[in-house]
Amino acid sequence: MIERATRYTKDVQDFLERVHHATNIEILEHMQKTYADVSVTTVHRITSRLVERGKLALAPAAKGNAMRFDINVEPHDHFLCSNCDMLRDTDIASEIRPLLEDSIGDGCEISGNLVVTGLCKKCNKELKNETNHH
Ligand SMILES: [Zn+2]
Ligand SMILES: [Zn+2]
């Protein structure tokens, strides 16, 4: 039993190394390709434990407010596609933060990580094509 749990945990970590961010449901769908009997409870237990051990961080939530995990545990900013929910690691240059604070005004100070939303390359292209066709 211990051996299987270890294998599952390794599989979750390998999957996240590849995709960088994923929800429990996305992890479950991936796991079930190899282990048909894996349940969402098992995945939930594995990801919770990895977060506790500092092996996974919490990324900005996915659509429907689903918890999303991040293999990159260092503080970083994100780009979020508002169409397909794709999340991409980015680091907004420290020179930009004072500019943002200036435009926000009133002495407000930015703290923590930033999430910039927009359209990813794929969605941008798809939406443009759609407009051309109609
Ligand atoms: Zn997109
Ligand atoms: Zn990230």
CATH number at residue 40: 1.10.10.10
What is the per-residue pLDDT for 134? Answer: 57
Are both 47 and 105 inside the same structural domain? no
For the chain, list residues with pLDDT below 70: 1-2, 133-134
Q: How far is the CA of 134 from the centre of ligand 2 (A)?
A: 36
What is the per-residue pLDDT for 4? Answer: 83
What is the per-residue pLDDT for 59? Answer: 97
What is the per-residue pLDDT for 2? Answer: 64
Assigned token pair, 102: 């200036």
Looking at residue 95, the DSSP 8-state letter turns out to be: T
Are both 26 and 49 inside the same structural domain? yes
What is the per-residue pLDDT for 22? Answer: 98
What is the per-residue pLDDT for 70? Answer: 98
- Among 39, 70, 101, the domain-final residue is 70
What is the per-residue pLDDT for 1? Answer: 55
Nearest to 60 by CA among 118, 121, 113: 113
Residue 121 belongs to what domain range? 77-133
What is the per-residue pLDDT for 83? Answer: 94
Q: How far is the CA of 128 from the centre of ligand 1 (A)?
A: 12
Ligand nearest to the CA of 114: 2
pTM: 0.86
Are both 10 and 66 inside the same structural domain? yes
Q: How many domains, in total, are found in the chain?
A: 2
Q: What CATH number did the domain enclosing 94 receive?
A: 3.30.1490
Q: How far is the CA of 4 from the centre of ligand 1 (A)?
A: 35
Strand order across the 21-23 sheet: 21-23, 68-70, 57-59
Q: How far is the CA of 74 from the centre of ligand 1 (A)?
A: 24
Cβ neighbours of residue 127 under 8 Å, at least 6 residues apart?
Answer: 83, 119
Ligand nearest to the CA of 56: 2
Ligand nearest to the CA of 119: 1
What is the per-residue pLDDT for 108? Answer: 93
Q: How far is the CA of 90 from the centre of ligand 1 (A)?
A: 16
Are both 60 and 95 inside the same structural domain? no
